[in-house]
Amino acid sequence: MSSMTTTAASSLISRLARGAAAGIGPGSARCRGPADDGRVKVTTAVLAGGGAAAAAGAGAYLGLISGAMPLDVGVGRRMRRLGPLTVDVEAPRELVFGVIAAPYAERAPRALRDKVEVLERGSDMVLAAHRTPIRGRLVAITVETVRFTRPERVDFRLVRGPVPLVVERFVLSESDAGTLLEYEGELGTDLWRLGQAWGDLVTDRWERVVDASFQTIKAEAERRSR
């Protein structure tokens, strides 16, 4: 959304600059007269408005992608599938489940506490904030409920994030290699095609983050099983 606003403002500035170079419009050598001051004022106001719109669009984009300003209006809801993703882990299922649950434990390692903060805790479920680096100092924060069904399943439901709805599950099955870890879910966006386009961007990033998490889980579980 911010890129569309910024493009519009840039296009306007470009057209004005070309007009000035050709001697047409405010700022050109040929454009002189009593109405010149008024034209300059109008142009300045338009540019200021375009800049403000671009800044507002950029702020909205950052708010959405970081989860600070979730968009949930309840109209034009469209759903899409997440996954499936699978990975074979050469480790027992109980051990793999323990690796997945480790960031949510009461005594989680310090390195994991930088990525996951448990806000509320129940007997088999937690409410947790997940921090994911995006670019530079920009960090996305999603708040999710995480429900544990030992040792075969972990369910996630989004409470606050870049889209109105995400439900996901990690399913662990015993296999010849040790454990088959599977991921699937659903993601929902509002506002029809506009939301769908935003959902395309979020889905791509979301699945890449899950895939990276699977590789980390696999490496740690196999390291512990040696």
Confidence of residue 25 (pLDDT cuts 50, 70, 90): very low
Q: Give the pairing of strands 138-149 and 153-160.
A: antiparallel
Asked if residue 144 and residue 98 are part of one domain, the reply reads yes
% the chain with pLDDT above 70: 69
219 and 136 part of one domain: yes
Cβ contact 199:187 at 8 Å? yes
Structure tokens at 111: 């390195």
Is 218 among the domain residues? yes
The answer to whether the pTM exceeds 0.75 is no
Distance of CA 17 to the CA centre of its chain: 36
- What is the structure's pLDDT at 1? 40
Same domain, 110 and 53: no
Q: Within 13 Å and on the Cβ side, how many CA atoms surround 141?
A: 13
Same structural domain for residues 110 and 36?
no
17 and 103 part of one domain:
no
168-189: average pLDDT: 97
Length of the chain: 226
Are residues 129 and 28 part of one domain? no
Q: Pick the more confident residue, 216 or 57.
A: 216
Kindly state whether residues 101 and 152 are assigned to the same domain: yes
Which of 52-66, 75-89, 93-107, 181-195 shows the lowest per-residue confidence on average (mean pLDDT)? Answer: 52-66
133-153: per-residue pLDDT in tens? 777 777 888 999 999 999 999
CA dihedral 56, 79, 125, 177 (to 10 degrees): -120
Q: Give the residue-averaged pLDDT of 55-84.
A: 72
pLDDT in tens, 94-144: 999 999 999 999 888 777 878 899 999 999 999 999 998 777 777 888 999
Burial (Cβ within 10 Å: 0-12, 13-18, ≥19) of residue 168: buried
pLDDT, tens digit (0-9, with 9 covering 90-100), for 39-66: 555 555 445 555 555 554 455 555 565 5
3-state secondary structure string across 52-114: HHHHHHHHHHHHHHHCCCCCCCCCCCEEEEEEEEEEEECCCHHHHHHHHHHHHCCCCCHHHHC
Percent of the chain clearing pLDDT 90 (strictly above): 58
Range of the domain at 161: 78-225
Cβ of 32: how many Cβ atoms within 10 Å?
Answer: 8
**Structure-block tokens of residue 188:** 């929902």
Q: What is the pLDDT of residue 13?
A: 39
The answer to whether the Cα torsion of 127, 129, 132, 134 is positive or negative is: positive
pLDDT score for 70? 64
